Amino acid sequence: MKRGLSRLCALLLALLPLSAPILAHHGSSAYEAGLTTLKATITGYELMNPHTQLSFDVTSAGKVEKWTCEASSALTMARLGWNKSTLKPGDQITVAGNRAKNGAHIMRLRKLVLANGKEFIIERGEDYTDQ
């Protein structure tokens, strides 16, 4: 009995390093490499894990587009100066990020600028380009 349990434990320990890729976090392959910049109005904001979520409206050619934006974890965002009252519905913002490759109105946030000019850089990267 003890020998079987020891073998099972040894086998599990030997397989543990092979399980690391299973636990790996998702990448950014669903997003375009280039950056898109949008002027928007906040409709929702949740500082949460695993990713902070922003919802905002963008007016384009007279039509309102509903967008969702994914940012870093609550801890990372707090280290960058964010808190639960950083954004509220109605706030005017400029966001820069990587758009979803499938054309959906989804973005990975890289930079946010409040109407008062305060900037929050989430990730450094290439130059920001307008949509």
In the three-class reduction of DSSP (H, G, I as helix; E, B as strand; rest coil), residue 16 is classed as: helix
Residues 44-62 have a mean pLDDT of 95
pLDDT value, residue 131: 42
- CA dist 34 and 43 (Å) reads 25
- 11 pLDDT more than 60: no
The region of weakest confidence among 21-25, 82-86, 91-95 is 21-25
- 18 pLDDT more than 90: no
The region of weakest confidence among 1-15, 26-40, 47-61 is 1-15
Answering whether pTM is above 0.85, one says no
- CA dist 55 and 60 (Å) reads 16
